[in-house]
Structure 1
């Protein structure tokens, strides 16, 4: 538990040392747990470093060249340790320590203080109320405790005072004790004390008077220190400490006594019954018997080393029941009684080194765990030497003259056996067999030449440390035993601990070489020429390794393919995402362009061809009665049926002739539908805001609407565009053959009144040459009739909306005037609302007005025949005319059945671009 706690503190110290501190140059600051240590020692500094704002606790300024006490550190409240040793400070003022309220340790050793008066002892240390330790060692103070009052050291908190090597020649006086009421430790070592007075102190516990030339130590001196526990009188070579003294020593509080190196030839410790530790080394003691420690039954540590002891009595330590450590090294002991430590039941460590035992005999002890018998000139060992040491763990027999280990030597508890630097030449198979707990064996520095068979250590299952260096090994590299022994030592975990000292002494070519270098060539060759079994095993291992490598490679390949597939999927996803983003951007741009306001956005577009389109049309074989004849196949079929019915009704010609007259050569017809279909290209084309024909858009029914402004001519880029197919170009004749080039509109020649009253179903009524001939015919009512002003009040005109519903007329279908290549995908008549440029004017029924200008010579029958002929011609051409307004079959029937009551549908003039 203690080790764990120390490790924890060390870790905390390391962690704390990593905390950043702005340490002044050239000091070195480290954190130990929560304390900041600043080391500025031995830097030859003459000015004090500045620690302003740094919470330093331990400050070491020793070994520099400071001349004055550092009063600038008085404001550092955290400073508890200040070391100013080995400087040149000569004095301390009475108020120098003002502000050092937290200071606990102040070291001023080895400075230039030459008197107590220079320290201001009675005033200076009063301002350091927390001061516990004061070191004044190495200063020349002269005396202690027997001067004037102003020279007496005064401090109510001081517990440890160091005055060693201060040239003090006298000690004494009650004044010292009175001025230092809490003093516990006093060091007066290395002073020449010619006179020692009594130090009556009830608090003093440790007193060091070593090397002080003390000759006599009276009992009165020790009685004055009632609570003294440790007294060091070592190296006082003239000290008398025996029973012959006039004033015998008697104290019951002293626990530790050190009188080593005092040239004592006898010792009397009967007056110190409470002693627990006595050190008597380096004296001239010759005998230790039962009376030496008769009255010291509390002793735990006895050090009798470096004396001239030759004999140890049988019961010399019998009364020391608490003895734990006994040191008898560096004496002249030649023989040991086997029971001399038998009664010491708690003795743990026995040191008998540097004696002249010559033979290891049986020692009886139930508590000793460590025995050191090195350098004892032992030549032989009894086989039962360890049989009575029931708990022995460590035995050191190094540097002796042992040549052979006994055969039946055994120990059930021995763990460490040191036989280094002896004279062992051989190791038998049963040498270490009886040490089952052996873990550490030192055989280095002996005379072993032949390798030890590994089976000699079969009984030592815990053996993990072997030391075999510095032996004259004969390196027979071809010997199987040598190879096996080397393999045993170096097999992991390696048991050999001094491998670099394992060298060859023979043959001469290998002298001084390590085993590995000496036999490397031979062992490598043997490894190449190994046995068949080893080769087979190697092949098996290589095969397994190869299979493992293949499996690993396959797994890596699978992993690579999976990653590649994932990367490819990610790349495809990114490409698709980019393409979708581009399409989305393109759609957004198109929508923004379509949403751009035009000049005339609300105008409707007609499907009628422009003037230039009409001029490009080739001449037809027969005249077209209306635009519906060009584009409406159903309308053409209805017209053909109507003509067929009229032909049968009148009986003017046979049915075959009428049909032949209405048939057109399909190969020579102009494909006007295809030309009209080229209008679809105009819908998909993107036109700028400055096209000549204005803005173009399409309604729900697919009809095209142009703005009125600049709609007379098409866009400039359409003039150079080939809008006709190869057949159209081949069937094209000339502009002169077009019926629209010769036809002259007669709308301007017809008075408005006549336009309203005449029964015109379409514009062709005004432009068809056949109607020009009507006026020249004899029976035509228009040839002689002249308009008269109406008698009735002017009719009320009702203008309907431009949007009308086109109703399908239930008339018979005629063949179209041009060939329809799109008949397979014929569209049904749309019932949607279509914008038109025509206005429907509904008038009340206009009855025939009397014509006073007509000649009375014309008979009634002729007039009726002419009117009937005109009606037939109108009905014949009605299917090919472009119907605007709400013209239906009912209206046609009504107009044909009534001669006197006529309902004329007057149209707004067709756009001039048609002509």
Structure 2
């Protein structure tokens, strides 16, 4: 799958690089990209009609050869990118004068092997003018009869054409000025395979290559060559009757000719002295018999000489002495029997020398400092001179194959030889010093000889670079039990293997192994011998055991790895579960902690709110009561339930239980009143500590919006009190907080003038006045010093208890009640002042507004001498009963706000002697 993806990606990249993702190629053509050119191949499809190509397809090469088209495809003129059009091997017989209109980019047009019979069928004078970019035109395989001898309207005309192919066109005559007038830029002209009976001059200053091979040319005159002054390459091969120059001394002169091919022309002599710039000459397949110093005397620039397939028997020692640029010399397929040692001595750049297929019987010494490759195969060499390679200082490759060599001399040596081919010779033995003096030897061919015994690997100890051995096709004796044979086999097969023809390495003896490969012949015996050996069995057993143990260890390791991997997955899964559980527990704990924190904060806020009492200004803002406020219970609206409790407590019988219940009720009542005051103070503290904006006032109106008594600020009218409060001459909270005595109380400014009030209204005024409760002067004026105006009210006698007679004043002795002070519930604006009363007088305690005074559970009477003779027990019981009633009535007055007399059974004198505790209540 992956290779397919890779190939798809590469094809996509190639398509993107070429700019086209997909080509809509018409059937049955095949469109391919070659580098950055689009090739459309429609050849050999047997088409009769031309395929339709989209003009947007950038086709550059279109091959329509090998079909049956009859007309030229003018519809492809709209393809602007078309530069190559092949219409060869079709049946096109004519071209219209307008056939090539539109082919402005066409460079190559191939019309070979069609049905064109004359130049007039091509409209040569007008048709090719419409293709201004045409460079190459092939008309080979058609029939024209002649070239250049026609009239002007039938001559091919093109200003851009540089290459014209007219091979095998039935041309029997050529000449004229067509190349000069009609084809002024033609550079290459091919007239091969034509029967040129008449060869006239064809002048052209642009022609550089002329091919006249296999044209039956007999005589090439100097006038023909002189008409082509810029000719560089001339091919005259396969003209079997050619005479290069005339016998009367007509020398061919071509001062620009560089390459001459005159092979297989049956020439027995040749004179190249008129070609001074000649660099490559091919004279193979002729009848030349000798080469001397005069053959290439004026051709000092020759680089390649091919004299093969001639009848050369003698080569002079100085035949190539003047050729200082000679690189390749081919003397193969000649009759050379002896070669002079100095024949190539002066050729300092000669690289390759081919002497194959000659009759040299002995390989003798050759002197050269540049030759690298010498081919002397098939030369019937029987012996080698020991010093044959000493003068070849740069030799790298020597081919002596297919000779009659049976022995290699001991002193043969070369420091540069890398490849030695002794294949298909008659070698039967290899000595230890045969290849000792070839340190650079890397490729050795010994195949096709008569070697029978294995070669000792020590013989190749000096050949460190030997990596290719050819030993096939020898009559080897396969002695599989011989250590030398096994050692030699290991030497050539151990990786990296040196043997290159292993499939040709066969046994010739013994008879059972005849024709078998070494591996197949000896493997059975080698395995049998290994089985029969005890040591081999032991080692085999050990090896098998080790393999089994290794397999078990590997399996165990794989199992352990699998288990560890599984345990790791389980650990990860357990860790994830534990992490999720921990997060869940943490979320629960955080939620519980938030709830606890919020509840704690709420409780703390409630406690803070309850621990603070309202300020004086807050109290003044509270709603006014319809009726006079006699107690805090009236302000809270809980008078009736508490009155019932008090009433029930009054109806209870005398005793300790009723006394304790009365104290608990008083304590609960004062605690509730205290908490109400604390809540007011907490709201005031919120008002003081609340953040205020730039445009907000510091003191705002606090409205009670819910049942719990919580307050909210009102920004409006917060800095200054409202108009209806300014007239009351209220003092600030700081003055009230700094109050030190009763005389500094703000209520002293509002003392009522009792004398100015009518008597019938004094009662209501007294009930509605605060000064009535707090002013001592009023008490002294109206009631008397130390006495409450409610002293005249006497409590009613409870049902079921007979009224006691009033006792004289001197009998009843007032006791000093010591009150256990509670922690003040509100801020003490007026200070805490207690008046102690002596035995003869009354004492009053001025406590805070909601201070609860607890009386002693028992009253002790002082002895009185003037007391009557009433029995002690009855008098004490009556006194105790009166004290209980007095306590009940006093508690009832504090709750309900009625200031009745302490006891109905006591007289007015007793009330004067009674300890009076006036209450100061702040009216909110």
Could you tell me whether the CA contact under 8 Å between 2:179 and 2:203 is conserved in 1?
no
What's the CA shift for 1:858? 6.4
Q: Structure 2: where are the runs of 5+ without partners?
A: 1-12, 611-632, 659-671, 681-706, 710-767, 774-787, 813-874, 903-910
The 1:169–1:104 alpha-carbon spacing in structure 2 relative to 1, beyond 3 Å, is same
Q: Does 1:249 align with 2:252?
A: yes
Q: Which position in structure 1 is the counterpart of 2:697?
A: none
Q: Which position in structure 1 is the counterpart of 2:676?
A: 803
Aligned mates of 1:700, 1:63 — CA distance in 2: 107
Q: Which position in structure 1 is the counterpart of 2:761?
A: none
Q: SS in structure 1 opposite 2:220?
A: coil
The 1:904–1:197 alpha-carbon spacing in structure 2 relative to 1, beyond 3 Å, is same
The equivalent position to 1:861 in structure 2, one of 807, 810, 827, is 807
Q: Which position in structure 1 is the counterpart of 2:181?
A: 178
Q: SS in structure 1 opposite 2:492?
A: helix
Q: Which position in structure 2 is the counterpart of 1:230?
A: 233
Aligned mates of 1:72, 1:61 — CA distance in 2: 14
The 5 Å alignment of 1:81-92 reads: 81-92=84-95
What's the CA shift for 1:591? 9.1
Q: Does 1:511 align with 2:392?
A: no
Q: Which position in structure 2 is the counterpart of 1:342?
A: 345
Q: Which position in structure 2 is the counterpart of 1:293?
A: 296
What's the CA shift for 1:66? 2.5
Q: Which position in structure 2 is the counterpart of 1:748?
A: none
The 1:235–1:547 alpha-carbon spacing in structure 2 relative to 1, beyond 3 Å, is closer
The 5 Å alignment of 1:818-857 reads: 847-848=789-790
Could you tell me whether the CA contact under 8 Å between 1:17 and 1:32 is conserved in 2?
no
Aligned mates of 1:869, 1:757 — CA distance in 2: 31
Q: Which position in structure 1 is the counterpart of 2:457?
A: 454
Aligned mates of 2:679, 2:808 — CA distance in 1: 38
Q: Does 1:400 align with 2:403?
A: yes
The equivalent position to 1:150 in structure 2, one of 143, 148, 153, is 153
Q: Which position in structure 2 is the counterpart of 1:32?
A: 34
Q: Does 1:425 align with 2:428?
A: yes
What's the CA shift for 1:378? 1.2
The 1:13–1:139 alpha-carbon spacing in structure 2 relative to 1, beyond 3 Å, is farther
Per-residue CA deviations over 1:802-832 (Å, capped at 9, x if unaligned) read 834599xxxxxxxxxxxxxxxxxxxxxxxxx
The 1:428–1:230 alpha-carbon spacing in structure 2 relative to 1, beyond 3 Å, is same
Q: SS in structure 1 opposite 2:59?
A: coil
Say what the alpha-carbon RMSD is for the aligned residues: 5.1
Q: SS in structure 2 opposite 1:57?
A: strand
The 1:50–1:546 alpha-carbon spacing in structure 2 relative to 1, beyond 3 Å, is same
TM-score, normalised by the number of residues in structure 2: 0.65
The 1:145–1:757 alpha-carbon spacing in structure 2 relative to 1, beyond 3 Å, is closer
Aligned mates of 2:429, 2:885 — CA distance in 1: 151
Q: Which position in structure 1 is the counterpart of 2:313?
A: 310
Aligned mates of 2:913, 2:501 — CA distance in 1: 142
The 1:438–1:182 alpha-carbon spacing in structure 2 relative to 1, beyond 3 Å, is same
Q: SS in structure 1 opposite 2:398?
A: strand
Could you tell me whether the CA contact under 8 Å between 2:804 and 2:878 is conserved in 1?
no
The 5 Å alignment of 1:188-227 reads: 188-227=191-230
What's the CA shift for 1:78? 2.4
What's the CA shift for 1:581? 4.9
Per-residue CA deviations over 1:148-205 (Å, capped at 9, x if unaligned) read 2221111111111111011112111113421111111000001111112211111111
Aligned mates of 1:230, 1:461 — CA distance in 2: 48
Q: Does 1:327 align with 2:369?
A: no
Q: SS in structure 2 opposite 1:270?
A: coil
The 1:347–1:124 alpha-carbon spacing in structure 2 relative to 1, beyond 3 Å, is same
Could you tell me whether the CA contact under 8 Å between 1:433 and 1:459 is conserved in 2?
yes
Could you tell me whether the CA contact under 8 Å between 1:765 and 1:771 is conserved in 2?
no
Could you tell me whether the CA contact under 8 Å between 1:369 and 1:394 is conserved in 2?
yes
Per-residue CA deviations over 1:720-761 (Å, capped at 9, x if unaligned) read xxxxxxxxxxxxxxxxxxxxxxxxxxxxxxxx99xx999998
Aligned mates of 1:377, 1:105 — CA distance in 2: 52
Q: Does 1:767 align with 2:769?
A: no
Aligned mates of 1:758, 1:395 — CA distance in 2: 141
Aligned mates of 2:309, 2:641 — CA distance in 1: 158
Q: Which position in structure 1 is the counterpart of 2:363?
A: 360
What's the CA shift for 1:524? 3.9
Aligned mates of 2:638, 2:128 — CA distance in 1: 142
The 5 Å alignment of 1:420-819 reads: 420-524=423-527, 568=571, 572=575, 575-577=578-580, 579-581=582-584, 584=587, 764-767=645-648, 771=652, 803-805=676-678
Q: SS in structure 2 opposite 1:861?
A: coil
Q: SS in structure 2 opposite 1:518?
A: helix
The 1:901–1:429 alpha-carbon spacing in structure 2 relative to 1, beyond 3 Å, is closer
Could you tell me whether the CA contact under 8 Å between 2:654 and 2:884 is conserved in 1?
no
Q: SS in structure 2 opposite 1:177?
A: helix
The equivalent position to 1:100 in structure 2, one of 98, 103, 108, is 103
Per-residue CA deviations over 1:545-565 (Å, capped at 9, x if unaligned) read 999999999999799969966
Aligned mates of 2:179, 2:483 — CA distance in 1: 82
Per-residue CA deviations over 1:409-447 (Å, capped at 9, x if unaligned) read 111111110011111111111111111111110011111
- Aligned residues between the structures: 689
Aligned mates of 1:369, 1:51 — CA distance in 2: 57
Aligned mates of 1:884, 1:876 — CA distance in 2: 13
Structure 1 stretch 113-122 or stretch 460-469: which is displaced more? 113-122
Aligned mates of 1:51, 1:512 — CA distance in 2: 65
Q: SS in structure 1 opposite 2:146?
A: coil
Q: SS in structure 2 opposite 1:481?
A: helix
Aligned mates of 1:28, 1:897 — CA distance in 2: 140
Q: Which position in structure 2 is the counterpart of 1:22?
A: 23
The 1:513–1:536 alpha-carbon spacing in structure 2 relative to 1, beyond 3 Å, is closer
Q: Which position in structure 1 is the counterpart of 2:5?
A: none
Aligned mates of 2:913, 2:590 — CA distance in 1: 59
Could you tell me whether the CA contact under 8 Å between 1:804 and 1:885 is conserved in 2?
no
The 1:868–1:854 alpha-carbon spacing in structure 2 relative to 1, beyond 3 Å, is same
The equivalent position to 1:136 in structure 2, one of 127, 131, 139, is 139
Q: Which position in structure 2 is the counterpart of 1:687?
A: none
Q: Which position in structure 2 is the counterpart of 1:665?
A: none
Aligned mates of 2:190, 2:368 — CA distance in 1: 41
Aligned mates of 2:225, 2:96 — CA distance in 1: 36
Per-residue CA deviations over 1:41-94 (Å, capped at 9, x if unaligned) read 223333224143222222222222333222233233322222222122222221
What's the CA shift for 1:853? 12
Structure 1 stretch 183-192 or stretch 32-41: which is displaced more? 32-41
What's the CA shift for 1:904? 11
Q: SS in structure 1 opposite 2:75?
A: helix
Structure 1 stretch 107-116 or stretch 569-578: which is displaced more? 569-578
Q: SS in structure 2 opposite 1:302?
A: strand
Q: Which position in structure 2 is the counterpart of 1:658?
A: none
The 1:847–1:382 alpha-carbon spacing in structure 2 relative to 1, beyond 3 Å, is same
The equivalent position to 2:378 in structure 1, one of 348, 371, 375, is 375
Q: Structure 1: where are the runs of 5+ without partners?
A: 1-11, 596-682, 685-696, 706-751, 778-798, 808-833, 906-915
Q: Which position in structure 2 is the counterpart of 1:126?
A: 129
Could you tell me whether the CA contact under 8 Å between 1:365 and 1:389 is conserved in 2?
yes
Q: Which position in structure 1 is the counterpart of 2:415?
A: 412
Aligned mates of 2:888, 2:374 — CA distance in 1: 147
The equivalent position to 1:258 in structure 2, one of 261, 267, 272, is 261
Q: Which position in structure 2 is the counterpart of 1:272?
A: 275
Aligned mates of 1:145, 1:404 — CA distance in 2: 65
Q: SS in structure 2 opposite 1:269?
A: coil
TM-score, normalised by the number of residues in structure 1: 0.66
Which gives a bigger RCO, structure 1 or 2 (Cα 8 Å, sep 6+)?
1
Per-residue CA deviations over 1:702-721 (Å, capped at 9, x if unaligned) read 99x9xxxxxxxxxxxxxxxx
Aligned mates of 2:315, 2:380 — CA distance in 1: 18
Structure 1 stretch 141-150 or stretch 539-548: which is displaced more? 539-548
